[in-house]
Amino acid sequence: MTIAAVLSDKGRDVATITPEASLAAAAGELTRHKIGALVVIDGEGAVVGVLSERDIVSCLAKHGDQQLGERRVSDAMTAPAITVAADERVLSALALMTARRIRHLPVMRDGSLAGIVSIGDLVKYRIDHIEREAEAMRSYIQSA
């Protein structure tokens, strides 16, 4: 089971933002898309970071609410971005997320952004896979 298989099920859409955008704009994008993180890309489209809800809350705790909305994404984002290759195994990606205490991984293919997976996406994919295996085993036993 690879990350590419997860993306084929969930889709490859990725919400992105630039480092120069305001945190207010980023919060608006997170809300509009109903997601927990944005991939931060530079002018050439290179992945330079990830901005999560947790990053915004941490920035709020550090700086207070004074002008929080006017701060830039670059002030709060996690950088450099921790990424995963599309051909990476799901269990390896889950281990990486657990070890690094992150919930979102931009997916790279040939140096370009190919998608994003969350820990929820990977857990759902893993559970679905296990359930399919269990059903196949039940069918096999019943037919024997």
- Report the CATH number at residue 103: 3.10.580.10
Backbone region of residue 86 per phi and psi (left: phi > 0; alpha: psi in -120 to 50; beta: other values): alpha
Query: For residue 94, what pLDDT band results from cuts at 50, 70 and 90?
Result: very high
Is the pLDDT at 105 greater than 80? The verdict is: yes
Per-residue tokens: 64? 């207070």
Is the pLDDT at 14 greater than 80? The verdict is: yes
pLDDT at 63: 83
Domain enclosing residue 19, as ranges: 3-143
Query: For residue 124, what pLDDT band results from cuts at 50, 70 and 90?
Result: very high
Total domains, the chain: 1
Mean pLDDT of 17-33: 96
Which pTM value belongs to this model? Answer: 0.87
Pick from 9-13, 62-66, 76-80, 135-139 the range whose average pLDDT is largest: 76-80
**Three-state DSSP class for 103?**
coil
- Residue 83 sits at the vertex; the CA angle it makes with 78 and 85, to the nearest 5 degrees, is 175
pLDDT at 54: 95
Query: For residue 140, what pLDDT band results from cuts at 50, 70 and 90?
Result: confident
Is residue 116 within 8 Å of 105, Cβ to Cβ? yes
